[in-house]
Chain A
């Protein structure tokens, strides 16, 4: 199975900050990576697909980049509603696997 490792596991930030979350795959996944946001008690919400494509309705302060094994999710100018847990997911090969999550907390 492809292992997805996110860093950091948690990060504290303030409204208006810029935050970057990293996801590393244990092998080349080309661009088959998605990012999700999950709030407590809710289902995950798709943010980015194929590494850098913004899902419809997602604010443009979210952006994604990377290919191969290293990927990033960047949130510019954090808003109060952005404090949540973020997951990456690879879809290059079965079984599809998720990272362990990055919790974005209020500083």
Chain B
């Protein structure tokens, strides 16, 4: 059974950097069957795709966030990470990590999500 779990600070100060890690179990992130990505959802709003990274390390970002987003992958730990810089209150959201099917481009697996609050 595939399981994803986000971890990281829940409160971030404005202008600071968000750092989240997603631990994956039940599947090897090196298998090539999935991209590993991030989606966020502001309170009461719709979902927004942030980006994803392949096991080879190639990232794909949402252009609206690209200059602020850094993604990385650690195959030895079976985990991947997100850093987002220069946070503002508009970045307050539930952040999900997810596994995107390489073949069908659907988000098959999701973490439970973590609410990130940007506030001083």
Within 8 Å CB of B104, what residues of A? 34, 49-50, 53, 91
CB of B101 closer than 8 Å to a CB of A: yes
A50 to B110, CA, bound (A): 18
Interface on chain B toward A: helix, strand, loop, or mixed SS?
loop
Other-chain residue from A32, A44, A49, A55 in contact with B47 (beta carbon distance below 8 A): A44
Q: Contact at A95–B63, with CB atoms within 8 Å?
A: yes
B46 and A95 form a contact (CB under 8 A): no
Are A98 and B46 in contact, CB atoms less than 8 angstroms apart?
Answer: yes
B49 to chain A, nearest CB (A): 4
Number of A interface residues at 8 Å Cβ cutoff, please give it: 23
* Contacts between chains A and B (CB distance < 8 A), count: 60
In the assembled complex, the Cα of A53 lies from the Cα of B108 at a distance in Å of 13
Q: Encode contact with B along A52-73: 1 for CB under 8 Å, 0 otherwise.
A: 0101000000000000000000
Contact of B106 among A91, A95, A99, A100 (CB under 8 A): A91
Q: Which residues of A contact B (CB under 8 A)?
A: 32, 34, 36, 42-46, 49-50, 53, 55, 87, 89, 91, 94-101
Q: Which residue numbers of B lie inside 8 Å of A, CB to CB?
A: 46-49, 60-64, 96, 101, 104-108, 110-113
